[in-house]
Amino acid sequence: MMLRLTFRTGWTVAIFAGQLGAFALCAAGEAEADKSPPAVPARIEFNRDVRPILADNCFLCHGPDQNRRKADLRLDIRDDALKAEAFVPGKPSESELVARVESADPAEIMPPPRSNKKLDARQKEILRRWVGQGAQYQRHWSYEKPVKAEIPAGQNAIDVLVGRRLDALGMKPAPEADRRTLIRRLSFDLIGLPPTPEEVSAFVADTAPGAYERLVDRLLANPHYGERMALGWLDVVRFADTIGYHSDNPRNIWPYRDWVIRSFNDNKPFDRFTVEQIAGDLMPGATTETRVGSAFNRLLLTTEEGGAQPRDYESRMLTDRVRAIGAAWLGQTTGCAQCHDHKFDPFTMRDFYSLGAFFADIQEPIIGRREDGMIVASAEEEKTLARLDAAVAEARKRLDAVARELDAAQTQWEADVARYAITLPELGRDSKASPAEKGTATAVQAALTKTAGVRNRREREVIRSYFRDRITPLYPAERAAYAQAEQARREFAERLPRCLVSVHTEHPRTVRILPRGNWMNETGEIVKPALPHYLSQPEHSGRALTRLDLALWLVSRDNPLTARTVMNRLWKQFFGQGLSRQLDDLGAQGEPPANPALLDWLACEFMDSGWNGKHMVRILVTSNTYRQSSTATPEVLAADPLNRELARQNAYRIDAELVRDNALAIAGLLVTKIGGPSVKPYQPEGYWENLNFPPRHYVADTGDAEHRRGLYTWWQRTFLHPSLLAFDAPSREECTAERTRSNIPQQALVLLNDPTYVEAARAFAARILRECAGRPEDRLTRAWQLALQRTPRPPELATVTKLLAQHLKDYRAHPDAARALISIGVAPAPAGIDPAELAAWTHVARVLLNLHETITRS
């Protein structure tokens, strides 16, 4: 059947869609809450109960990988298992599988002791009961198309589906969080910045119906929304400013980052967002915008290392790209299929290399420096560029009109040079020419020694331009006009941003299956681009597939994985963890979602809405589930320690970039400009000392660039800015669906001692003193409002008042120390404030910026 995909921008692409799979989703029933050990369910379900046991313990030797298969037995396909007489459905006592897992004999027991795997009593009972109930299989949940649950009209589907499980488990949702917590949570989640005290009080005071929804709409329309949403996507596609391997040199790529931000702000439908990235150059009506999106294909690691072999890196780049598609869209771990068929999922080596073959048409150097990339000009700049191009053409025309006479004169001059053995003036003994001029003249002189007939193009050109620039007096106006037009064009173009993008070649690289992943082995079969065989796909009647086909398939209804993968990640942004906790693996070794109906509903709604991101975000954040308090009662904590059932919100530390943004915003230092080249904030001396080829010297930016948001920080893959690294920002060498969230001493050192935070503390202090004259208590209240959007509690006031007095006394006694502290940073120290007072308040501000609560979204 023919499927028409229409994007809301109006372009339509027809693709052939295969028959829709007729699999009914086997509704997963109630999974157990995280209690240990849960009772064995009366009715066993393969996907929920059995598959995890088999996948973790058996598939390694009795699964999809035929090279590792033992005893000619595979347990992942029912027919094969039956044929091998692994079990007799309905008769556990006659079943070899049951006998072997229950055996006490080390020679008999499965899994064997040498595997270091062991089944517990519950797992054994599950297998016995499953065989007893007929040993029914289910297709892995994520390979089935998602099915949308019926939701009563007018209700939020999230609340309905979460509520059903809570009812079944006898649990109650937490009460709604207070308004201050809600606006703080929403602000961090939607724009990545804290609310101002004024915004908080306005929201608290707005008791009219729909106040919350209006707040959500306002934040969704805020241009910082795109920045906030970009954080996760930039991790997952591994966006960075440098190439990654060895010398880790820079490359031109930042316009892609701005493209991502813009896409989120414009609410570009996710299908369109996908196609532009994978095939923005191949789309009908490709534009500068769509081509910048196609920079996605260039985000991988590359090398300039001497001795690196092209075929080696061709293979590394292919595998890098396959892993990226797997991570960003499919939620599949594909990396192992580089060397062998996946041991747990049906993803084969052929799938792996065929997927990689989609990218064989991308023009790029395999080894060495990246090209400068495409000019990325604004519409205005495009116009200027076109005007300058026209001027060059016009000047050229006029020069060409007199070319014959100039060339004749040049021939005459060349003959003179040869006849009289003339040395060019720049090379004369008393020449005052610059080294560059001498260099040019040397090249010309050398070219002139050759007879005209054997000169190459480059030599002809240097002679010609030298003659026209330096020798001939003929047609000065024409020559000057041309030179000026060219120079104007060059100078303008040099200032324009550039970006690596995808450029298609008609002569793609040959892609072979590499036996055991070995790039030196060229005996493997040649493969063409193809979609993973185990997922339903459009009929394309033997037509050669392109990146455009891949992109369209990723966001087609045929694909059961993309919408789930994206929604699972989105869920993490608003709840701190995915519905399936394994964001990067929805395959057999991942974790089935605790609430499969909910993930499926979100996936379906996402597709039904035309892949409308803001629509989904709105549904998430307006749900009562999202609006719950994150404080858990001891009973809830005991019943569901990991909060799989969502009877509360979660509290967690904000992301690395936001830790910085938050401090700068509180201090009033944050420069809110959106986009542009990456910036270099303060960085410890010597942090780049282990870089080489060439050695790098970090020069921190000054002025506004010093106080930009964290996501604009120069992303040096091998040495990511240490304050981002301390808070778990990934190096982006590999796709990262899931940042770890650690709590380590380096975080304390950054917040206490990094000049960025010391400067922020001083600016925050000055702000308090400036904005609030009066008693210290009033000022402290203002400080609390700015940092935490609440009033201080009495014990807090007592602690800080004492601290302030102590520091004030110290600095009055040591004014030099006060001046030293308040001069840290580039932001000018305010005039008219007593240095001792400012220094003492800097400490108070610093304490506030260091609080756990300040960097926590609850």
Between residue 56 and residue 95, which ones bind another protein under the rule CB under 8 A? 56
Helix (H) or strand (E) holding 71: none
Residue 379 and residue 549 in contact, taking contact as beta carbons nearer than 8 Å: no
Within 8 A by CB and 6+ apart from 363, the residues are 503, 504, 505
Residue 177 or residue 283: which is nearer to another protein going by CB? 177
Which position among 795, 828, 831, 832 is part of the footprint of another protein (CB under 8 A)?
Answer: 795
Which position among 344, 359, 715, 841 is part of the footprint of another protein (CB under 8 A)?
Answer: 344
Whether omega before 694 lies within 30 degrees of 0, making that bond cis, reads: yes
Within 8 A by CB and 6+ apart from 86, the residues are 73, 75, 95, 96, 97
652 binds another protein (CB under 8 A): yes
Query: Of the listed pieces 140-148, 258-266, 642-650, 668-676, which binds another protein according to CB under 8 A?
Result: 642-650
**Token pair listed for 397:** 């025309």
CA dihedral 187, 188, 190, 192 (to 10 degrees): 110
CB of 347 to another protein, least distance (A): 11
Residue 559 or residue 582: which is nearer to another protein going by CB? 582
Strands 374-375 and 12-16: unpaired
Which position among 719, 767, 768, 776 is part of the footprint of another protein (CB under 8 A)?
Answer: 719
Residue 69 or residue 819: which is nearer to another protein going by CB? 819
Neighbour-count burial of 121, counting CB atoms closer than 10 A to its CB (0-12 exposed, 13-18 middle, 19+ buried): exposed
**Token pair listed for 133:** 């109930």
The footprint of another protein on this chain (CB under 8 A) covers a number of residues equal to 109
Buried b (16+ CB within 10 A) or exposed e, 557-583: bbbbbbbbbbbbbbbbbbbbbbbbbbb
258 binds another protein (CB under 8 A): no
**Token pair listed for 28:** 């997963």
Residue 164 or residue 790: which is nearer to another protein going by CB? 790
Using alpha carbons, list the distances in angstroms from residue 334 to 311, 319, 344, 349, 381: 21, 9, 11, 9, 42
755 binds another protein (CB under 8 A): yes
824 binds another protein (CB under 8 A): yes
171 binds another protein (CB under 8 A): no
**DSSP H helices in 576-633:** 596-608, 613-622, 624-627
Give the angle subtended at the CA of 534 by the CAs of 528 and 540, to the nearest 5°: 50
Residue 587 or residue 613: which is nearer to another protein going by CB? 587
- Residue located via tokens 């007893």: 132
748 binds another protein (CB under 8 A): yes
- The residues in 508-547 that bind another protein, with binding defined as CB under 8 A, are 520
CB of 843 to another protein, least distance (A): 6
- The residues in 402-431 that bind another protein, with binding defined as CB under 8 A, are none
488 binds another protein (CB under 8 A): no
125 binds another protein (CB under 8 A): no
Alpha-carbon span 596 to 592, nearest angstrom: 7
Query: Of the listed pieces 127-135, 300-308, 471-479, 561-569, which binds another protein according to CB under 8 A?
Result: 300-308
CB of 46 to another protein, least distance (A): 18
Alpha-carbon span 60 to 68, nearest angstrom: 7
Within 8 A by CB and 6+ apart from 800, the residues are 780, 792, 844, 847
Residue 228 or residue 857: which is nearer to another protein going by CB? 857
CB of 95 to another protein, least distance (A): 24
Helix (H) or strand (E) holding 13: strand 12-16
Residue 273 or residue 571: which is nearer to another protein going by CB? 571
Which position among 276, 426, 645, 754 is part of the footprint of another protein (CB under 8 A)?
Answer: 754
148 binds another protein (CB under 8 A): no
CB of 788 to another protein, least distance (A): 9
Residue 446 or residue 748: which is nearer to another protein going by CB? 748
Using alpha carbons, list the distances in angstroms from residue 560 to 15, 64, 143, 809: 17, 21, 6, 66
720 binds another protein (CB under 8 A): yes
700 binds another protein (CB under 8 A): no
324 binds another protein (CB under 8 A): no
Binding mask 726-745 for another protein (x = CB under 8 A): x-x--x-xx-x-x-xxxxxx
- The residues in 619-638 that bind another protein, with binding defined as CB under 8 A, are 631-632
Residue 343 and residue 63 in contact, taking contact as beta carbons nearer than 8 Å: yes
Residue 373 or residue 587: which is nearer to another protein going by CB? 587
Whether omega before 209 lies within 30 degrees of 0, making that bond cis, reads: no
CB of 344 to another protein, least distance (A): 6
Which position among 460, 753, 770, 791 is part of the footprint of another protein (CB under 8 A)?
Answer: 753
- The residues in 431-460 that bind another protein, with binding defined as CB under 8 A, are none
The residue among 100, 77, 93, 104 whose CA lies nearest residue 131 is 93
Residue 48 and residue 28 in contact, taking contact as beta carbons nearer than 8 Å: yes
Neighbour-count burial of 222, counting CB atoms closer than 10 A to its CB (0-12 exposed, 13-18 middle, 19+ buried): middle
- Residue located via tokens 């001059």: 413
Residue 25 or residue 308: which is nearer to another protein going by CB? 308
305 binds another protein (CB under 8 A): yes
Buried b (16+ CB within 10 A) or exposed e, 819-852: eebbebbbbebeeebebbbbbbbbbbbbbbbbee
CB of 581 to another protein, least distance (A): 5
186 binds another protein (CB under 8 A): no
> Within 13 A of 120's CA, how many CA atoms are on the CB side?
6
661 binds another protein (CB under 8 A): no
Query: Of the listed pieces 6-14, 97-105, 428-436, 850-858, which binds another protein according to CB under 8 A?
Result: 850-858
CB of 225 to another protein, least distance (A): 24
Alpha-carbon span 53 to 704, nearest angstrom: 56
109 binds another protein (CB under 8 A): no
Query: Of the listed pieces 242-250, 371-379, 612-620, 771-779, which binds another protein according to CB under 8 A?
Result: 242-250
CB atoms within 10 A of CB 450: 13
251 binds another protein (CB under 8 A): no
The residue among 691, 258, 266 whose CA lies nearest residue 497 is 258
Query: Of the listed pieces 205-213, 441-449, 664-672, 838-846, which binds another protein according to CB under 8 A?
Result: 838-846
706 binds another protein (CB under 8 A): no
651 binds another protein (CB under 8 A): yes
Binding mask 559-588 for another protein (x = CB under 8 A): -----------------xxx--xxxxx-xx
Query: Of the listed pieces 441-449, 489-497, 562-570, 724-732, which binds another protein according to CB under 8 A?
Result: 724-732
CB of 177 to another protein, least distance (A): 12
